[in-house]
Amino acid sequence: MSTTSTTPSHSLIDGPLDGLIVGASLATLAGAQGYGEITDGALGWRDGVIAYVGPRNALPGAPERLARSVIEVEGWITPGLVDCHTHLVFAGDRAREFELRLQGASYEEIARAGGGILSTVRATREADEDELLRQSLPRARALLADGATTLEIKSGYGLDYANERKMLRVARRIGEQLGVTVRTTCLAAHALPPEFSGRGDEYIAEVIEWLPRLHSEGLVDAVDAFCEGIGFSPAQTRRVFEAARALGLPVKLHADQLSDLGGAALAASFDGLSADHVEHTSLDSVRAMAAHGTVAVLLPGAFHVLRETRLPPLDAFREHGVAMALATDCNPGTSPLQSLRQAMQLSSTHFRLTPQEALRGATVHAARALGLDDRGVLRVGARADFALWRIGHPSELCYWLGGQLAQAVYCGGRRLD
């Protein structure tokens, strides 16, 4: 276990700190490889920003003289986890469909019986804003309790202007109520609503008309689409992305999950923040992602629930230097997963990611997939978003199946309830 020495870049202690934690080991994730380990470390913050990270014995004075609050702990501190792909705002659930699938019912049979994504659309449309918030908050709280400090939340179960707006408003309210960062993504191009059956191009025209209105209310941080045979074509997706670009909004994409339509390359051509799922992504698309800095977001929860067998091109991502992020894809149909740490474990089991890759995927690279450069690492000047874990080594975050490993989670230097 290595100990990192303190240099001036590790400290901005030029006044009293709001808080200082000493004693824990730190996984700073500094540098491109390894955990960036510091044993018997110290982490201090002021005004929600990290002001010191380094060994305790390199502090420029006694801890009680440096900070208003000093906490001595054991365990490990990592950056707060960043869940960069969720659909956690929805009403109802699809547990009965899960049971039917296990009994042999096909997705098509379930959909014909009124199930599938459109059942979630119906339930979400029927719930008013307060009810939608009430149902969604427990899922957000579960993610935070297991170490997450930043959430991305997509719309996409409203599929009309009023209900997409309602979903995005609820996502904003979740961030305000829980005191965490929520990045909102407009995924109106998620599925074709029943009232537009057979009229996909007309629906895309409606989505393009909604975007400026939603953006003007401050409800949209990014734009996404489901580019797939059962979703929207590359040409339709391109129209949505061109509208997003005209508004100065970054794009993300559900890409190449079930087939290779060149979705990841399409996202990269718009300098997309990320291409997500990417099980069927081709080598040419990997090269395009590398050239444009587009992050590959791996979603092992959906892979697990759908019992997929086609792995993303993980070796190609590594070879070409494409950053691999991880997320829960928390949604009612294909990934009812409420723990990003569990997604890390699934990524090691199914995708053979090392614990280091998984932790970086849920922090450094996930932040990048949201266009955020002020979190995901423990460094001076970064947001004081971090988690304290009851573990003897960071590899345990991918080792344990379940359990409550997080002792405390801090967002902007404030301990979350």
DSSP string for residues in 127-183: S-HHHHHHHHHHHHHHHHHTTEEEEEEE--S--SHHHHHHHHHHHHHHHHHHTSEEE
Burial (CB < 10 A; 0-12, 13-18, 19+), residue 258, is middle
Whether 254 has a binding-site annotation, put simply, is yes
Tally the C-alpha atoms within 13 A of residue 290's C-alpha that lie toward its C-beta. Answer: 14
Q: Which tokens belong to 235?
A: 């040409």
Whether 257 has a binding-site annotation, put simply, is yes
The three-state secondary structure class of 373 is coil
User: Is the Cα dihedral 157, 158, 161, 165 positive or negative?
Assistant: negative
Q: What angle do CA 222, 293, 308 make, to 5 degrees?
A: 75
Q: What is the Cα Rg of the chain in Å?
A: 21
Whether 342 has a binding-site annotation, put simply, is no
CA distance 393 to 359: 12
CA distance 275 to 369: 9
Whether 350 has a binding-site annotation, put simply, is no
> In Å, what is the CA distance from 191 to each residue of 38, 234, 274, 306?
47, 14, 20, 19
Query: Nearest Cα to 257, choosing from 324, 290, 321, 303?
Result: 303
Q: Which residue has the tokens 């959909």?
A: 111
Whether 10 has a binding-site annotation, put simply, is no
Whether 157 has a binding-site annotation, put simply, is yes
Would you list which residues are annotated within the binding site for Zn(2+)? 85, 87, 254, 329
Would you list which residues are annotated within the binding site? 85, 87, 94, 157, 190, 254, 257, 329, 331, 333-334
Would you list which residues are annotated within the binding site for Fe(3+)? 85, 87, 254, 329
Would you list which residues are annotated within the binding site for N-formimidoyl-L-glutamate? 157, 331, 333
Would you list which residues are annotated within the binding site for 4-imidazolone-5-propanoate? 94, 157, 190, 257, 334
